[in-house]
């Protein structure tokens, strides 16, 4: 068995890949949601041989993928302990920082206590929208007025977010970022989860959002798994919006990406040189941003096929003792046509090691985990750090190794 300081962990978040409604989903308006099964049924013939081999079809409550007789590694699903269904809540809980109270939401838009000082401090002539809206729809509807007036488009969703859409050339990208920094400062005491800059380009009738999005998150309210790893001198690489989600805390290197394909290429580059004892945390945003919110089940399915075909490339770079974790942060059922918001669901957990020299066993049913925090607890144990007495997660590293010892 390798030393803990030689092992590495790669956790890839397939953003929004839920695997069935949580017991309290009805209170969030999400009863009956099942992102994975529903998108597969809607798309038809979808080929996911590597995810199926990892045990995706063996997870409780999952019926869409093929169920293999012997899964490559550990498989299960995780419930969200925190009262929410947004990016920050999901990722924070994964890294052992669950929330006791839901972030505040603004279904009727933001009051004068927010917009008044925001307009005054940034010098804009006003704002447009100030309501819950779909990001793509709102720039189509208000983009021309934005160009004519210079007023940024401020909107929200079912999540605790203040989003700002502005034309990257006419309004200016750096000006948009500065506007969002002021918004973050104004909303910090109220506990708003995130301020998100949503730049777009193009002409009227053909506006397109860019990958220069930037999230301005609150600081997590307690030390996370990432903080503990950095304090122990470990390398922590965030790929995609990980750095933004954690307010750049607990990350030694943050890599901005332009979608899934770019994120996966960067993940391979990290896998080539990540030091022993290191952690690579990846968010693959396109599943959520391009397909879940836009209710595009076929596009979601094709993106899953692309990810599945990529998986052997990471396999080729794994070392003995490495661990790969595949999961999600919430659901976003593309067949739910009454809205465009996230859905409150279980998320999958698939865990496996290198093809040669793996320290994790095959065919380990991890069951239904009580919290996303089990991911962070497993990372801590796998990399040789001691669990804190009051840690909210329960590691399944021993389940993987124990089954290996019996095999």
Q: Which of 253, 250, 246 is nearest to 231 (CA)?
A: 250
Q: Specify the residue for token string 């793509």.
A: 136
108 is in an annotated binding site: no
Phi, psi for 19 (deg, rounded to 5): -130, 40
How far, CA to CA in Å, does 166 sit from each of 16, 109, 151, 201?
25, 18, 8, 9
The torsion angle over the Cα atoms of residues 324, 329, 333 and 337, rounded to 10 degrees, is -150
288 is in an annotated binding site: yes
342 is in an annotated binding site: yes
How far, CA to CA in Å, does 269 sit from each of 31, 252, 274?
40, 16, 9
Neighbouring C-beta atoms of residue 275, cutoff 10 Å: 11
The torsion angle over the Cα atoms of residues 98, 104, 109 and 111, rounded to 10 degrees, is -140
266 is in an annotated binding site: no
Task: Record the tokens describing residue 205, joined without a space.
Answer: 């009738």
Task: Record the tokens describing residue 322, joined without a space.
Answer: 């490495």
For 140, left (φ over 0), alpha (ψ -120 to 50), or beta? alpha
Annotated binding site for Mn(2+): 15, 288, 293, 329-330, 342
Binding residues: 15, 288, 293, 329-330, 342
């Amino acid at each position: 068995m390798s030393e803990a300081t030689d092992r590495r962990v790669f956790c890839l978040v397939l953003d929004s890949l839920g695997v069935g409604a949580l017991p309290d989903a009805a209170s969030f308006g999400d009863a009956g949601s099942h992102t994975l099964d529903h998108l597969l049924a809607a798309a038809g013939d979808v080929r996911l041989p590597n995810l199926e081999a990892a045990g995706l079809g063996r997870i409780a409550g999952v019926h869409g993928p093929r169920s293999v007789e012997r899964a490559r590694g550990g498989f299960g699903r995780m419930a969200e302990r925190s009262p929410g269904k947004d990016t920050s809540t999901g990722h924070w809980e994964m890294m052992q920082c669950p929330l006791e109270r839901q972030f505040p939401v603004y279904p009727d838009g933001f009051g004068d206590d927010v917009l008044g000082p925001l307009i005054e401090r940034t010098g804009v002539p006003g704002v447009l929208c100030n309501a819950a809206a779909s990001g793509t729809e709102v720039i189509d509807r208000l983009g021309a007025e934005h160009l004519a007036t210079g007023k940024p488009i401020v909107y929200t969703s079912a999540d605790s977010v203040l989003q700002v859409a502005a034309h990257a050339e006419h309004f200016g990208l750096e000006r948009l970022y500065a506007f969002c920094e002021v918004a973050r400062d104004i909303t910090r005491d109220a506990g708003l989860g995130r301020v998100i800059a949503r730049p777009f380009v193009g002409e009227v009738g053909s506006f397109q959002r860019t990958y220069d999005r930037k999230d301005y998150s609150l600081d997590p309210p307690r030390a996370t798994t990432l903080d503990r790893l950095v304090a122990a001198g470990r390398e922590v690489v965030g790929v995609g919006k990980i750095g933004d989600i954690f307010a750049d805390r607990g990350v030694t290197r943050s890599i901005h990406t332009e979608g899934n394909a770019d994120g996966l290429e960067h993940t391979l580059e990290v896998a080539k040189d990540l030091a022993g004892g290191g952690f690579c945390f990846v968010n693959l945003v396109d599943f959520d941003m391009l397909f879940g919110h836009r209710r595009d089940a076929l596009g979601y399915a094709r993106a899953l096929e692309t990810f599945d075909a990529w998986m052997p490339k990471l396999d080729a770079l794994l070392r003995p003792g490495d661990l790969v974790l595949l999961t999600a942060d919430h659901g976003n059922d593309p067949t739910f046509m009454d809205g465009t918001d996230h859905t409150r669901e279980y998320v999958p957990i698939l865990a496996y090691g290198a093809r040669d020299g793996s320290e994790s066993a095959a065919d380990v049913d991890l069951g239904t985990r009580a919290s996303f925090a089990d991911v962070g607890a497993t990372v801590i144990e796998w990399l040789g750090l001691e669990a804190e007495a009051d840690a909210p997660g329960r590691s399944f590293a021993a389940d993987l190794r124990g089954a290996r010892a019996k095999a």
